[in-house]
Amino acid sequence: MKMIYLASDSKARRKLLNIFGLKFKVISSKSKEERMAGHLSYAALVKRNALTKAQNAADRVKNGIIIAADTIVVQDKKIFGKPRDLKDARKMLKRLSLKPQWLYTGIALIDKDKNKELLDYEKTKVYMDRLTDKEVDSYFRQASPLDKAGSFDIQGRGAFFIRRIEGCYYNVVGLPLRKLYLMFKRLNIRLFLFFLTTIYCLLTTVFLSGCSTEYNVVTGKEETYYYSTDKEVAMGRAIAEQVEKEYKFADDPLIQKRVEDIGKRIAAVCDRKEIDYHFYVLEDDEVNAVSLPGGYVYVNKGLIDKIANDDELAGVIAHEVGHIVARHSIKKLQAMQGYSILRLLVAVSPGSAQVGNAADLAFLELLTGYSREDELLADQLGVRYEKLAGYDPRGMIHFLEKLQEVHRREPLRPKSYFKTHPYVPDRIRVVKQELGEDISFKDYINIEQAPHK
């Protein structure tokens, strides 16, 4: 096996290579990084810097493979590298938080035995929350910004203010692993052949506290989750605690008991009984309901005011339980930039400000609703559970028809049920199919496209 040399002092890059159990030595590059693009593109600049570092290290070894990388952050045609000092870091981070930026990483591989050089690059778009001076100072007290391009780290406390990314996550960490793997492949180096079969679970194990493959009883498929059921419940509890702090619960005990009683009946017949279910009513006029990971369901009082009977309410609650059974919420949060958010929800001490921020972001993400496929599956499961619990399953159809009428008469509002749960005609059709009822031509027409009056 060839010796591998990493021409970088970056702790993050060393950690990424260590994930795969690679034996490598660090050779500090003595080359100076250029930070003026001139006639070069940003991609060409980072590739040239990476190659200079690799060549500098290669001159000091007899054989083996040298890996070098260079990262810059670009915003409004201005290049940001590592800050010179804390004053520069503070100024840099405040500016970067105002607008999205592009992060470029150039990679150079030199195989001294074959006398070959390879160059490539990766770019990722990063969106931050706008930071105050107080937030920047707090971050700098707990993390060193001086060894990081752009003064932030996505693996640590930088995750608190990185809203989302578009592109390769590991590029933001400091070394785009997939790109590196492809470069090794081009050199016909067999060292990384195990990569494809292990990367998914191995990386999520390190960064996301362990993946697991489980049989989903409602989809009939083996599905991979980054978190166990216990940690899913812990996430739901963390989000629920934040909801309790920021939202007002309905002060009518009869309404709360009504929702709890219906919810318990639905939970008793659902396909997922290894968790406890919790049902609450929020004092909110919006016609909406939402479910959290691990068994938490919230129904707005505005929605309850629109329903005619328990059968309609049971349909709404059963639909949200369907999302929990199918683990739609945890899968949605896994898919968002929230790998860092989810890690915070299970790793940071309860009640801390960091957990509160992460819980806020997760709750808002879930309020935006699910994909069309997830909504329709939740309807199928919901009407099934409603019927098993002893309610009239046509209650769900009556509610959807009412929802459709509300949709026509009233303008869309930010968190309304008919905004986060689209395709009402499709939903009615799916419910009828689940009940074995005849489908009319009207059920195939998306009549919601009519303008609001």
3-state secondary structure the chain: CCCEEECCCCHHHHHHHHCCCCCEEECCCCCCCCCCCCCCCHHHHHHHHHHHHHHHHHCCCCCCEEEEEEEEEEECCEEECCCCCHHHHHHHHHHHCCCCEEEEEEEEEEECCCCEEEEEEEEEEEEECCCCHHHHHHHHHHCCCCCCHHHCCCCCHHHHCEEEEECCHHHHHCCCHHHHHHHHHHCCCHHHCCHHHHHHHHHHHHHHCCCEEEEECCCCEEEEECCCHHHHHHHHHHHHHHHHHHCCECCCHHHHHHHHHHHHHHHHHCCCCCCCCEEEEECCCCCCEEEECCCEEEEEHHHHCCCCCHHHHHHHHHHHHHHHHCCHHHHHHHHCCCHHHHHHHHHCCCCCHHHHHHHHHHHHHHHCCCCHHHHHHHHHHHHHHHHHCCCCCHHHHHHHHHHHHHHHHCCCCCCCHHHHCCCHHHHHHHHHHHHCCCCCHHHHCCHHHCCCC
Q: Which residues make Cβ contacts (< 8 Å) with residue 347, sequence separation at least 6?
A: 209
Q: What's the one-letter identity of residue 208? A: L
Q: Which of 9, 59, 70, 438 is catalytic?
A: 70
CA 260 to chain centre: 30
Q: Residue 70 and residue 55: Cα distance in Å, rounded?
A: 13
Contact yes or no for 319/312 (Cβ under 8 A): no
Catalytic residue flag (residue 70): yes
Q: What's the rounded Cα separation, in Å, for the pair 258 and 254?
A: 6
Residues with active-site annotation = 70
